Amino acid sequence: MTKVKLAIIYYSSTGTNYQMAQYAADAAREMGADVKVLKVPELAPPEAIASNPAWQAHHDRTREVPIASAADVEWADAIIFSVPTRFGNVPSQFKQFMDTLGGLWAQGKTANKVVSAMSSAQNPHGGQEATILALYTSMYHWGTIIAAPGFTDASAYTSGGNPYGTSVTAREDGVIDEGTIAAIKHQARRTVTVAQWIKAGQAQ
């Protein structure tokens, strides 16, 4: 088995995408992957965060999570992104992080990495699929190999049936249902498996 280095890079204001990242990390570690869970920098001013108690609580609770960097992207064989939707696109915090990686891309250091993405919104049709597809557009520019879950596991049918990447309808209590957790874990396992194939092929 080829040991895969997996970076799970997320943005989360109140915690849903952080939880998704943790479930993905658990599944990837069970497969023997070397996993980093990383957050993108928060750009919102302190007063905006403080205006939402759930946002402030999550912000305080995850202060120790490492900040993602270009070095982490270069290190990774595979990347899972987990982001909420903002008007059918990625949050500005995540976009700003992506925009700092032009130098890495220009050196060809994003090519052939295996990528998969997950998303969330406050309602079932809040733009989750559009957000993932918008993110994948950037990944085509990077030259990555996208490992979408498709319908490669029965969990797709118990988690809303999003073939592009697992999507969550965020709840006030923060709970993610068991069917969706299974889909997140399958997506992580599939990403690691595809990355194993790529690493093994490159070594020949």
pLDDT tens series, the chain, 204 aa: 579 999 999 999 999 999 999 999 999 999 999 999 999 999 999 999 999 999 999 999 999 999 999 999 999 999 999 999 999 999 999 999 999 999 999 999 999 999 999 999 988 888 899 999 999 999 999 999 999 999 999 999 888 889 999 999 877 667 898 999 999 999 999 999 999 999 988 877
The confidence score (pLDDT) of residue 144 equals 98
The confidence score (pLDDT) of residue 165 equals 96
**CATH classification of the domain holding 38:** 3.40.50.360
The confidence score (pLDDT) of residue 1 equals 59
The number of folded domains in the chain is 1
Segment (H or E) for 43: none
Rg from Cα positions in the chain: 16
Verdict on whether the full-model pTM lies above 0.75: yes
Distance CA 52, CA 142 (A): 35
Dihedral through CA 57, CA 58, CA 63, CA 67, nearest 10?
A: -150
Domain that holds residue 21: 5-203
The confidence score (pLDDT) of residue 159 equals 83
